[in-house]
Amino acid sequence: MDFLTLFAIYVVLVLTCIVLVCKYSGQQQTPFNTLFNYIVKVFAPITPKWLQKFSQWTLHRLFHQRNNMFIYLHILLEEMDTTLTSLSVPYILLAIKNFFFYLCIKRDPGTVTKRKVAGQLHIYPYDRRLFHPGVSCPTCQLVKPARSKHCRLCNRCVQRFDHHCVWVNNCIGALNTRYFLLYLFSVCAMAGDIALLTADMLLHAVLRSGLLGASYIDEYGEQQPAGPLFVVQHLFLTFPRIVFMLGFLVFVFFLLAGYALFHSYLALVNQTSNEWYKSRGYFCQHCHPTSTADHLCSPAPDHSKRYYYSRGLLRNLGEIFFPPQPVQKKDN
């Protein structure tokens, strides 16, 4: 049972890391920051200055600026998963996934520009709760349309901003949310398909070996039928890498499926992850202590619906796959 124990420890560690990341996401003071600062404080006196500067530059480059490293890593991981089988279905799914992956990278998410801002201001009304009229972006020097947000990584304001995805090195906004959703579902389909093929291969290996009808001598010298645990242990000992890969694929499938379902839910209610996150700890943009505005906000209207921009399931989905375009004023 050594391999089962190792695999159980592996799963527990991964799940623990995910729970901790989800719990402390968005917080300034976390145990991760405390531990990192302590390690830096301990090793700083014995670390060369050039290595400290290089480490700081690398971390800043990876997580605070746009870069293509995560795109290359993503493609490398996909190639590692799909070269284990010669069947055509995973490669078809890989082609579909890469197509949507490319669209997520290259398509404009809905950048707010001086030429388009006049029309973008009329796409969505201000809810006067999370978004208020007359608020300008201090970086872009443009009036912010409702549901827009400035991305510090891309250094631009994005219409209907959802989030910045490091895997596609681009913002997810009004014009590429549809591609991002289809990309997530295609990745889930590919991971699920490879997991099924791998499980089918292991099942055929068990059936051909005749383990289901076999027996073994236990530690007390008695003959015992080979049960499920014995078969699993045999697979771990015979195909350790394949079994670990299958466990990883199943874990990744459920993780991505949960993320895809979350974004599907947001699409159905016409809400972005930025709005969902802000609504959990709602604060007024004008009255917040960190705001530089001198005036108080107007009284917020009493909305009976929780989701201000929802217009029904079909219209919400239509807005995702056929996003409204800025109103262009004709020159007389």
Query: What are the backbone dihedrals phi and psi of residue 112, each rounded to the nearest 5 degrees, phi first?
Result: -85, 120
| Terminal CA-CA length for the chain | 80
Q: Which tokens is 28 given?
A: 């300034």
Among 135, 172, 186, which Cα is nearest to 323's? 172
Give one word for 88, left, alpha or beta, with left for phi > 0 and alpha for psi -120 to 50: alpha
137, 154, 165, 297: the active-site residue: 165
Distance CA(91)–CA(85), nearest Å, equals 9
Q: Which tokens is 242 given?
A: 């394949």
Q: Which residue has the tokens 């009004």?
A: 174
Distance CA(62)–CA(71), nearest Å, equals 12
**Is 151 in the active site?**
no
* DSSP secondary structure letters along 127-175: -SSS--TT-B-TTT-SBPPTT-EEETTTTEEETT--EEETTTTEEE-TT
Contacts of 192 by beta carbon, 8 Å cutoff, 6+ apart: 253
CA angle 189, 191, 193 (to 5 degrees): 65
Residue 25 Cα distances to 11, 20, 133, 158, 246, angstroms: 21, 8, 29, 22, 29
Q: Which residue has the tokens 């989701």?
A: 307
Q: Mapping DSSP to helix (H, G, I), strand (E, B) and coil, where does residue 201 land?
A: helix
Q: Mapping DSSP to helix (H, G, I), strand (E, B) and coil, where does residue 215 land?
A: strand
Q: What are the catalytic residues?
A: 165
